[in-house]
Amino acid sequence: MSVHYQRHGDIGVIQIANPPVNALSHAVRSGLVNALEEGINDTQAKALVVLADGRTFIAGADIREFGKPPQAPLLPDVINQLEACPKPLIAALHGTALGGGLEVALGCHYRVALEGTRVGLPEVKLGLLPGAGGTQRLPRLVGVERALEMITSGRFVEAEDALEAGIIDAISSAATPFEAGVAAANEILAGNQTPRITGKLPAPMANPQAIASTLERLNQESPALFSPFRIVEAVEASITAESLQDGLRRERELFLACMDSPQRAGLIHLFFAARNPHLVPGVESADVFKQVALIGEVPLFDLLQKAAQKAGITLTSAPDDASELCLLAPNAPGGSAMACPVVALETIGTSSDRDTALSLIIAENTTMVELVNHRADALTQQQAALTLKALRLSVVVSQQQSLLHSLHAASQQASASEKQSSLEKASRRIAEQGFCYRESDIDLLAVEALGYPRHLGGPHRQATLKDTPL
């Protein structure tokens, strides 16, 4: 079972167990409704606590359901039932409460968080808006200005800031969500704390200045994007709607408009492209190199030094008998005679005559890098990629020729008005030549390293869409 109910004394506990991040799958949504009903009907339970197993509370929607027809119960209906619970309902948060996870918490009557918890509504990053009450309940707690900033940016908020803003009611030093939740429930039953039913709070005060300044910022920063402007409309509805239910209906209309937007499809495509671009096909198991030599000087090496200790990787400034991998800065001597695998670093747009089995292409102002395999075996490339990932780099693996070099060259040769179409043409060639392991890797690199518009999903995706007959 993804959700189960158990009473401890006079406290009923609704426990979510859907590893790894307790995503709001159909089974979790159904389980929440069933466990809530069980808790309401348990005459010995005077208060209820919602919490989750593992390393986090609910980290959002279930990505396995993206693109599939929604199944009842829908999340807005689940949250409405939580909010209507006749008994005090406490959410005990830990790890992260994101997207629908925070919306579940907002539907509860009291929110206690363990130290280090972060909350957020990051749906804008997928071309969406919070569609289960987030744009209506959050402004009732924090006001219009703060809600607009938080939802249009999608940023995560630390527990201390969430407490100060009024998103949560308390921070607990307890060791577990269970201990924090039960303690909060007992405080409420003793009359020492007062629950807040968010939907029964008055609508937020009108703030036309906050709305105007948000629209001005969005028009400057991201005028081509669709969902941020729909977020503003939804938050406006929290002020102007005659009731919470009217505001929720307007939110749902705007959410469905975002779902139908081509931008949502492009951003979802990139979301999946960013999952595991470092995996080499055909390699089922590989270990991280623990002894790495950094030869020469390059700013990237400073970043690696900061991440090495946490990753359990030893970095040296010269190769020795223990070295398992060598990273060679562009102007550093050496390469071919070294006993361990050598990765030659290249800055995007520069050529190199180094004869190494692997090369690492670096773009400015990003931690996104490309690890190109010229003649190493697949296992070595995978081990090198895992090592770089452990050192906090976002790694895309490729073969034979650099995707980044090819894309950059196409971009540089085109006029400003032709850059997008030039990248789209180049992406076709790259895919046909087989330099990428996944075609979505072309899109990921073009967006993250070369500034191709994120909401379009990448040049290869756009080229493919143009090939598809209407």
**Dihedral sign, CA of 229, 235, 239, 242?**
positive
Peptide bond into 330 cis (omega under 30): no
Give the count of beta carbons closer than 10 Å to the beta carbon of residue 365.
Answer: 7
- Retrieve residue 361's tokens: 């292409």
Q: DSSP per residue over 226-267, as a string?
A: SHHHHHHHHHHHHHHSSSHHHHHHHHHHHHHHHHTSHHHHHH
Element of type H or E holding 185: helix 177-189
Q: Which two tokens stand for residue 41?
A: 């009907």
- Integer angstrom CA distances of residue 416 from 85, 412, 419, 426: 58, 9, 5, 16
Longest pairwise C-alpha distance within the chain: 77
Query: Catalytic residue numbers?
Result: 103, 123
CA distance 281 to 110: 47
3-class SS at 157? strand
For 420, residues 6+ apart whose C-beta sits below 8 A from its C-beta are 452, 453, 456, 459, 462
Render the burial of 51-79: b for 16+ CB within 10 Å, e for the rest: bbeeebbbbbbbeeeeeeeeeebebbebb
C-alpha 66/C-alpha 344 separation (Å) is 39
CB 399 within 8 A of CB 426: no
CA dist., res. 56 & res. 41, Å (int):
28
Phi, psi of 51, deg, nearest 5:
-145, 175
- Helices 144-153 and 134-142, packing angle to 10 deg: 130
